[in-house]
Amino acid sequence: MVDRWGAIFALFVAIAGLIPGAAFAVGVPLDGRVCHVVTPAAVPDGNASTLRFTCGGEPSGYQRGSLWLRIDPARYMQPGETPTLLVHHSRLDRLAVEFRYVDGPAEWQQVRNGAYGDFWRPGAQLAFSPANRNDHVAAIVLRFDRLASHHLLRVRLVPSGAAERQSAMLAALIGAALTLLAIGAIYNLSLAIAVRRQYLAWQGAWAATVFVWGTLWSQFALLVVPGFAGSFSAQASTFLSANAITLATFSAVTSIPRSILPNWLRGVALALGAAVGILGIPTSLVRSALIDTLGAMLGIFVLADLLAVAICLGWAVRRGSAEARDLVAAWSVPMAALALTQFVDLGSALWGGGAQILVLFAAAWQTIWLSIAASRRLARFRAERDRALAAEARASELATRDPLTGIHNRRGFVAAVAPLMQSAQRDQTPVALLLIDIDRFKAINDVHGHEAGDSVLCTLADRLTRWQGPMCATARLGGEEFALMIGQLEGRSLLQFAEHVRQELGACDHRQAIGDHLVTVSIGVAERRGTADYQQLYRLADQALYVAKDGGRNRVIHADYLGPPCEPHSGKDGAQARR
């Protein structure tokens, strides 16, 4: 938690560190020091010198005409400095700038809606510099045609050299933030598809929306589509920013499990988020003085939405939600930045980017943090899933293994011999079953105890596993009975192999458990004939084993050498005979 909040603090320090970079710029407040006049749009630019400017009060009624502003550079610049005028544009049809020199004629520069030429700069700014830098600029006149609201304007005067350096640095920072947002959008949308988590889809859509908004607001889109310059970008940016808040709300709220968050609180937060998106539609379309009223209403809804989301996250954290803790760290920075813009007018801070660039940096931070948090959480889920699968595999393996000896039990043996039987059927190759029974095993338990009997079983099972392989499967079927299925052997070779098994098992050393007591085994052998299945093969081998036990034990009997098929004795007599 210390590292988390330390990182948040470090981000704010980094952002605050950008503010001194704007010390070379002087914001021009649109107050009584800036004289203004309103005229019809038909008035020619050349009539600027004849207009009577008013240096007090606020302009009005310019939305269908032209708003003229006159700035005295001497109020804001050091003597001898050549000013660059930076205008954070708003919704307008045309902006014309006149530089009046102390000696010589005036110079006009202009941009139109959809055609900014080389005047645009990163951060939604337009830059105008006097062509004659050797002559002193006495006054600067700005003309805005069909401006939506002068409250949305930000004007700065910057020494010419500093303006270029600031634009280059701002372009690099905005480019880095947009790159992170693009990567975050792709990553979160990919995660949403892969793991089918709704909040990741909302998060990816939010990051993508902020990326598009940042591309339009910063004017980087003009590199590809110059016609987007002006009102279209401004209106689209307003619409996208409102919808980004809606998507962010849905991402944060839907990430909290329904069992934690009350339905009424969830509903209020989602409703406020939706209201911000809906209110953003008329706010983005209006071109009149109504934009100030709609903007104020939108700000109120944004603050209410931020408060509702903060309450939701706090509620979930208090109830131990790990997702909410990650979201608090991720969303705290953009939420704080967004709330700050509603209370504090950043104006021309942050190299003219103002509130927008603060939100863009905070959004990049949020995307990085939430992507890391989502990856970490999914890694934990994957680890838990792997452990569950491993436990399931172990349980499945244990279900097919004899708990005493560790080799296959009857269930595992049937599954293990199925491929051998199928291969023999398909390729018409021999396969045989050996049923192995320990002679007089009950006596071992009676004389030496069950612990000694278990030791004998384990020793024999360990010796049997040496034959285990692709063409051989072994198992303890129960009690003192073992089984071995072998492929590719038949006739004499099979009998020789069975005799070798009997001798090897008889040669096992059991002295540590039962002293010099000799342990022998009897083996019944059956070869697969025709389409015989495992059950038929087992019955034949069991008959042969019965004959081996009945004939004196410690021997191998092949089912082919028996008389007509007969069932082994059942009941107590049969059990005694097998022992």
What mean pLDDT comes out for the span 209-218? 86
Identify which has the larger pLDDT, 371 or 404. Answer: 404
pLDDT number for residue 164 = 79
Identify how many contiguous H helices and E strands the chain contains and give both numbers: 15, 15
Q: Which CATH architecture has domain 410-578?
A: 2-Layer Sandwich (3.30)
| pLDDT of residue 23 exceeding 60 | no
Beta carbons of 464 and 435 less than 8 angstroms apart? no
Give kind and range of the element (H or E) at residue 574: helix 571-578
DSSP 293-351: HHHHHHHHHHHHHHHHHHHHHHHHHHTT-HHHHHHHHHHHHHHHHHHHHHHS--TTTTT
Torsion (CA) 78, 79, 83, 89 in degrees, nearest 10: 50
**Which carries the bigger pLDDT value, residue 368 or residue 136?**
136
Structural contact between residues 166 and 22, judged by C-beta atoms closer than 8 angstroms: yes
Cα 409 to the center of its chain, rounded Å: 44
Distance (Å, rounded) from C-alpha 506 to C-alpha 515?
14
Nearest partner of 481 among 549, 572, 384, 569, judged by Cα: 549
In this prediction, what percent of the chain has a pLDDT beyond 90?
Answer: 27
Q: Can you give the residue ranges of every domain in the chain?
A: 24-163, 164-386, 410-578
The whole-angstrom separation of Cα 340 and Cα 518 is 90
- Calculate the alpha carbon distances from 67 to 60, 83, 89, 94, 556 in Å: 9, 22, 14, 11, 113
CB 98 within 8 A of CB 63: no
Statement: residue 277 has pLDDT above 80: yes
Q: Which range is least confidently modeled, 25-34, 44-53, 522-531?
A: 25-34
* CA dihedral sign of residues 545, 550, 552, 553: positive
User: Across-strand partners of 143?
Assistant: 68, 96
Report the candidate in 184, 552, 551, 562 with the shortest Cα–Cα distance to residue 371: 184
Q: What is the pLDDT of residues 119-142, one digit of tens each?
A: 888 878 888 988 877 778 888 999
Percentage, residues of the chain above pLDDT 70? 88
Higher pLDDT, 198 or 416: 416
Residue 310 in this model has a pLDDT that exceeds 70: yes
What would the pLDDT profile of 428-439 be if each residue is shown by its tens digit?
A: 899 999 999 999
Q: What is the mean pLDDT of the chain?
A: 82
CA 469 – CA 474 distance, rounded (Å): 9
Specify the fold of 24-163.
Answer: Immunoglobulin-like (2.60.40)
With residue 188 as reference, give the H or E element that holds it: helix 160-195
Read off the pLDDT band of 409 (50, 70, 90): very high
Give pLDDT tens digits for 442-501.
999 989 999 999 999 999 999 999 999 889 999 999 999 999 999 999 989 999 999 999
* Domain 164-386 belongs in CATH node 1.20.1070: yes
H/E element, 391: helix 354-399
Q: What is the average per-residue pLDDT within 164-187? A: 82
**pLDDT band at 576; cut points 50, 70, 90:** very low
DSSP per-residue letters across 73-103: GGGTS-TTPPEEEEEE--S-SEEEEEEEESS
Q: Judge whether residue 234 has pLDDT over 50.
A: yes
CA distance linking residue 542 with residue 180, whole number of Å: 72
Spacing of C-alpha 522 from chain mean position: 63
Record the tokens describing residue 96, joined without a space. Answer: 């014309």
Residue 162 pLDDT > 60: yes
